[in-house]
Chains A and B, each alone.
Chain A
Amino acid sequence: MTDVDLLICRCEEVSKRDILWAIEHGADSVDEIKRITRAGMGLCQGRICECLVSRILAGEAGLKASDVLPGSRRPPVRLIPASVFMGNPEK
């Protein structure tokens, strides 16, 4: 097993190789990497992998990790049953 086989996003089983492929194909942000590879789209919503993705991106782009913007946060942030939102269906 080499470095690029490492799983970066465990939820969606995205390897470092996949992340590097996305960067090579123009991904220049955590969100763009997510859109192409699904890293951060799984059950944990990037809580585990986002800092790793940021560091890989920073390394490839020659940036400091602190210069990479965080990914966007999507509601409802954690799993919530649909039935919780039922009630008044009108806005």
Chain B
Amino acid sequence: MKTIESDIVVIGGGIVGCASAYYLAQRGVSVVLLERSAIGSEGSGRNGGGVRQQCRDLRELPLAMASVKLWEHLEDDLGFDLEYQQGGNIRLAATEDRMEELTTLGEQELATGLEVEVWDRGQLKERAPYLADLFIGAKYCATDGVANPILATKAFGWAAERAGAHLMVHTEATEIRLQSGRVSSVLACGANGEVEIGTSTVINAAGLWAAHISRTVGVDLPLRPVRAILVTTEPLPPLFAEFISSHDVGIYTRPTRSGGVHVGTVGVREYTSKKGIPIWALRHLARIGQMIPALENVNFLRAWAGSLAMTPDGVPILGPADGIDGYVLATGFSGHGFCLGPIVGLLLSELVVDGKPSLSLDKFRLSRFDV
């Protein structure tokens, strides 16, 4: 078996793994990233591309706000057009209960320092006249936006390589090995056979697959698979610039650079890792006409899906795993990983290199699930 050495091993070539590798390599430490398939080939490359701060769990909100600060200059940092656009985010309410929920949340967000607006029916009609009459109001955040999830994840990978990280694709981590209670190496298997990478620090950012590799060191992760299912349309005349979602209708939509719109499911919790696009999903996504009447007969062009790792409370697991020195977790993003990827990568690089991240990750520890 081939053996190599690296200061850090990152498992998982999604946006969190690639961002971690990028910020770590910039700090001058040696990084090997292991990816079982291609960079960004699961949840990171197959989501709606929303870069959103509003309507977050309040634990997550400071991370999302700090991440948007990074997103705002990420294209310059990575030297790549990520199709990032702060077109705003509209969260719709079709019921009084929903409106009340959004209003309360808006007050909490304003208190945290996030600029949001709560719109009544009249304001909604004025700001977004293309929406259906069933909506009675909305919450809006102007600094939220979108990016291209595939290109952003790939661009982090390319930038990590330029900074000196070693990305090993089509190479699956199979085992984390310990020596007297601390990480000593990672075994991986790829087209060129097995390799053992001697290291003192592992970041497990393998999304849904994180649970599998974590079992090799006896750390159980409470992750469940959900498929993010999306469809995109034919190119259309420009109709709106915002990322729009409604939990009452159960979908979101966003415009894309190529001229169509993406439509995805919201709040659909079908626990499955089964591949393919079920017909119920296309029927569900066809509700776009209920949200935006002008799109009732829009042509669907292509649907796709990716696996998300959901935690019991819908908030990620971040930071050191108790009891094993050098084992760091970054998984269970529950569908929120794309926006958070850059800041989580930066904070993990600080945790590993400086011993302490500049924003606390304490609320995200795995031990919160201990009973």
Spell out A's residues near B (CB within 8 Å).
Answer: 12, 25-26, 28-29, 32, 35-36, 38, 41, 43, 45, 74-76, 79-91
Bound together, the chains give a CA A26 to CA B150 distance in angstroms of 14
Residues on B with beta carbons closer than 8 Å to the beta carbon of A85: 279, 282-283, 285-286, 300
Q: Which residue of A lies closest to B280 (CB)?
A: A91
Known contacts A25-B158, A26-B39, A91 near B299 by CB under 8 Å: no
Residues of chain B from 152 to 177 with CB closer than 8 A to chain A in the complex: 154, 157-158, 169
Q: How many residues of B contact A (CB 8 A)?
A: 35
The answer to whether B285 and A82 have CB atoms under 8 Å apart is yes
Spell out B's residues near A (CB within 8 Å).
Answer: 38-40, 45, 150-151, 154, 157-158, 169, 233-234, 258, 277-280, 282-289, 295-304
The answer to whether A79 and B282 have CB atoms under 8 Å apart is no
**Interface residue SS majority, chain A:** loop
Bound together, the chains give a CA A41 to CA B234 distance in angstroms of 10
The answer to whether A74 and B303 have CB atoms under 8 Å apart is yes
Q: Which residue of B lies closest to A87 (CB)?
A: B283
The answer, among A28, A86, A90, for a CB contact under 8 Å with B280, is: A90
Bound together, the chains give a CA A82 to CA B298 distance in angstroms of 6
The answer, among B38, B234, B285, B304, for a CB contact under 8 Å with A79, is: B234
The answer to whether B258 and A74 have CB atoms under 8 Å apart is no
Q: Which residue of A lies closest to B169 (CB)?
A: A26
Q: Which 10 interchain pairs have the tightest Cβ spacing?
A: A91-B280, A85-B286, A79-B299, A74-B302, A82-B286, A85-B283, A81-B297, A85-B282, A35-B150, A75-B277
Q: Which residue of A lies closest to B157 (CB)?
A: A26
B299 to chain A, nearest CB (A): 4
The answer, among B234, B286, B301, B303, for a CB contact under 8 Å with A83, is: B286
The answer to whether B150 and A36 have CB atoms under 8 Å apart is yes
Residues on A with beta carbons closer than 8 Å to the beta carbon of B296: 82-83
Bound together, the chains give a CA A48 to CA B277 distance in angstroms of 24
Name 13 interchain pairs, CB-CB below 8 A, sorted by A: A28-B38, A29-B38, A35-B40, A43-B234, A74-B277, A74-B303, A76-B302, A81-B299, A82-B295, A82-B299, A83-B286, A87-B283, A91-B278
Bound together, the chains give a CA A84 to CA B297 distance in angstroms of 8
Bound together, the chains give a CA A9 to CA B182 distance in angstroms of 51
Q: Which residue of A lies closest to B281 (CB)?
A: A91
The answer to whether B284 and A82 have CB atoms under 8 Å apart is no
Known contacts A41-B258, A81-B299, A91-B278, A74 near B304 by CB under 8 Å: yes
The answer, among A35, A45, A82, A86, for a CB contact under 8 Å with B302, is: A45
The answer to whether B297 and A38 have CB atoms under 8 Å apart is no
The answer to whether B300 and A89 have CB atoms under 8 Å apart is no
The answer to whether A83 and B297 have CB atoms under 8 Å apart is yes
Known contacts A76-B282, A76-B300, A76-B303, A12 near B258 by CB under 8 Å: yes
The answer to whether A88 and B283 have CB atoms under 8 Å apart is yes
B342 to chain A, nearest CB (A): 20
The answer to whether A36 and B285 have CB atoms under 8 Å apart is no
Bound together, the chains give a CA A76 to CA B39 distance in angstroms of 26
Bound together, the chains give a CA A35 to CA B41 distance in angstroms of 9
Known contacts A79-B234, A83-B286, A36 near B151 by CB under 8 Å: yes
The answer to whether A86 and B286 have CB atoms under 8 Å apart is yes
Residues on B with beta carbons closer than 8 Å to the beta carbon of A83: 286, 289, 296-297
